[in-house]
Structure 1
Amino acid sequence: ATVELWSSREGAFSKARKRLEREPLSIERTKGSEILFGIAPCSLALSQARRGLFRLFLKQSSGPRRLVMSEFILQAMARGVPVHHVKRRELDALCRGQVHQGVCLEATPLRFKSLEEAEEPDLGDEGTPNRQLIWLVLEQIQDPMNLGALLRSAYFLGVDRVVTSHRNSCPLTPTVSKASSGAMEVFDVYSTDDLRSFLKAKTAEGWEVVGTASKPEDVENVPVISCLEFRWNKPVIIVIGSEGDGLSLETQLLCHRMLAIPPGRALHPGIESLNVSVATGILLHSICSQKRRHSD
């Protein structure tokens, strides 16, 4: 009986120990912080002076990423950020199961910048106007993965400024930073409470406002052309609408022209459009490539 009791207790202890090993340790977050995750967002956040930084969490590792982790430690030491080596399950818990690549960074959130904070762009003078400016305006983009992909494309292709509508738009979250491959950490994103007044003001300053249409046949009162035919000789604003509904009618009517991407084949019903970030990448490449040719 004593042997059976001891065996039973040993079994209970073993189960309890395994349960504790499976359950991540609870790491209490600093008030007002968020958890960035992934190699690119965390490295770029450490290298920039745009966030308050609290703690760096690295996976205990002796594998192929050991050199990367050593570089993170050096970056953190240079910024005076404490480094904590933790197990994978702790990192999983910190970023709620997202793909962290062995790195999490506790930091203050990034906020949209107000247009009032922005430097006025150099539009040149009447004799030598600066025709090379391209701004991207986002109306009610709500999916963080889409917003991140949009920022990554805008940064890569040479967009000068990104402005979002404040209402019904995704904030600058760690998921957005990861989807942008860290572009959000180095690229200012502006926000406006009154998108229509902003577009009207830019038109009055001599900018061309260009909208986008996934279904050209649904657009009324605004000329629609293929993005392949679009030519520009003044500062231009490209306006992108929300994932589901596209541009609102009120915003469409403030556009001088609407751009459409011609498909490469006859399309089946139900798959007649592109993801908003993919479509924007195609449009920006078409337009920004003209910018590069002009500057050659």
Structure 2
Amino acid sequence: LKRRSPVFKTSEQHQSNKPKASLGGERVFGLHPVLLALRARKRILYELHVDERKLSKAGRLEQSPLLLQILDLAKEQELPVSGCPQNLLHQWCGREVHQGVCLDVSQLPVQQGETLMGCFDKSDVGEDAGRPLWLFMDRIQDPMNFGAVLRSSCYFGVQKVFIPGKDSCRLSPTVSKASSGALELMDLYILNTPEKFMTEMKMKGWWIVGTSSFYDSTRQASHSGSSKLTWDLPPPDKPVLLIVGNEGQGIQPELSTLCDSVLCVAPAGQDGPIGSLNVSVATGIVLHHLSLARRP
């Protein structure tokens, strides 16, 4: 069967090479973010832009499997597709690594986390009701860290991700790219009253797990593998909310007091030159250990 490509505009149909405002307010860029945005359809989709070098005059495509999937989805969804010069894509995407594609979209809709209050019983939290694992990112600022944490969360099966209503990284296209598109898939919520939210979770039997860069060898919990998690892992049958803190300040004190246990990735030595891990790396390690401990 011959693959039929969607009709697209060429750069000659662009009146100028000056950046134009996104129709929906944002441009998601990169192969994985664009593909997952098309699949998830959480945003309103307006127009797909493709590097014209990837399209011949006859409209046939280079053999890039991800690009083929993207254009198939664009055709299925009757989405306008335009070929444009690489330098225009550079300008539109802020010279980020766009891999030859960007997508005009609306901003990502985010739900209010407080709407979940009263739904913390195991029977109310979805298909993984027996062992739910949720994540709260406490004021993470760097978009690359934010995106990497989302990527690890998606990989390790976190069902819901929460962020504070202020002092948090914007959910930008850069975050989507850093997350390899996980931002487009995750169930994301804003919490304006995280302390109240977590207090109710604890009353319903949830285990609140904090993270810390402080290592206390006297409370070391032996664990298989080259790294060790210090302090107490949660009971494997408990619903868990994991909190990861700000790059410089860690978890807010009022949230730290709610933690039932605190996890830390132990260093190889006590007096090494590097005092802590990047928050995204530490989160990936902690989620890996939690997911192993919670397997049936």
Change (3 A) 1:61 1:163: same
1:9-52 deviation digits (Å, cap 9, x = unpaired):
xxxxxxxxxxxxxxx80142245421111000011111222111
User: Could you tell me the percent identity over the aligned residues?
Assistant: 36
1:29 aligns with 2:21: yes
Following superposition, the deviation at residue 137 of structure 1 comes to 1.0
SS in 2 for 1:215: coil
The equivalent of 2:266 in structure 1 is: 262
- C-alpha spacing 1:118/1:58, structure 2 compared with 1 (3 Å): farther
In the aligned structure 1, how far is the partner of 2:289 from the partner of 2:35? 31
In the alignment, structure 1 residue 67 sits paired with structure 2 residue 70:
no
TM-score (normalizing by structure 1): 0.81
**Match of 2:63, SS?**
helix
Q: How does 1:207-226 map to 2 (within 5 A)?
A: 207-216=206-215
- What's the offset of the Cα at 1:248? 1.6
- Does residue 285 (structure 1) correspond to residue 285 (structure 2)? The answer is no
* TM-score (normalizing by structure 2): 0.81
Q: Which has the larger helix fraction? A: 1
- The code of the aligned residue for 1:37 comes to F
Give the match for residue 146 of structure 1.
145
Per-residue CA deviations over 1:204-240 (Å, capped at 9, x if unaligned) read 11111111110146xxxxx886626524131111111
8 Å contact 2:233–2:261 — kept in the other structure? no
Corresponding residue of 1:206:
205
Q: Unaligned stretches of 5+ in structure 2?
A: 1-15, 56-60, 222-227
Would you say the 8 A contact 1:159–1:288 is kept in 2? no
The residue type equivalent to 1:58 in the other structure is: V
Secondary structure, in 3 states, of the residue corresponding to 2:195? helix
1:93-149 deviation line (CA, Å, top 9, x unaligned): 110100000101111010321124559355149xxx954111111110111111111
- Give the corresponding residue for 1:93: 91
| Residue from 14, 17, 30 that aligns with 1:38 | 30
In structure 2, the residue matched to 1:220 is none
Tell me if 1:251 matches 2:250: no
Would you say 1:111 and 2:109 are equivalent positions?
yes
Q: Could you tell me how far apart the structure 2 residues matched to 1:70 and 1:286 are?
A: 37
Query: 1:173 matched to which residue of 2?
Result: 172
* 1:147-199 per-position Cα deviation (integer Å, ceiling 9, x unaligned): 11111101111112111111201121101110110111111111100111111
Is residue 224–residue 258 contact of structure 1 (8 Å, CA) maintained in 2? no
In structure 2, what is the Cα distance between the partners aligned to 1:123 and 1:74? 39
Q: Is the 8 A contact 1:115 1:190 kept in 2?
A: yes
CA distance in 2 between partners of 1:230 and 1:72 (Å): 41
Work out the CA distance in 1 between the residues paired with 2:143 and 2:199: 28
Distance in 1, Cα, partners of 2:207 & 2:220: 14
* C-alpha contact (below 8 Å) 1:36/1:105 kept by paired residues: yes
Deviations 1:55-75 (A, max 9, x none): 111011259x71334443322
Check the 8 A contact 2:159/2:186 in 1, yes or no. no
| Structure 2 equivalent of residue 162 of structure 1 | 161
Unaligned ranges ≥5, structure 1: 1-23, 218-222
Distance 2:33 2:165 in 1: 23
Q: Any conservation in 1 of the 2:40–2:184 contact (CA below 8 Å)?
A: yes
- The 3-state SS of whatever aligns with 2:251 is coil
Change (3 A) 1:50 1:277: same
Aligned partner (choices 28, 32, 50) of residue 42 of structure 2:
50
CA change 1:224–1:258 in 2 (3 A) is farther
Matched to 2:85, the amino acid is K
Query: Which entry has the higher C-alpha Rg, 1 or 2?
Result: 1
Change (3 A) 1:194 1:224: farther
Q: Which range moved further: 183-192 or 24-33?
A: 24-33
CA contact (8 A) 2:42 2:109 kept: no
SS of equivalent residue, structure 1 residue 158: coil
Matched to 2:179, the amino acid is S
Q: Structure 1 CA distance, aligned partners of 2:269 and 2:215?
A: 16
Q: 1:31 to 1:77 in 2, by over 3 A?
A: closer
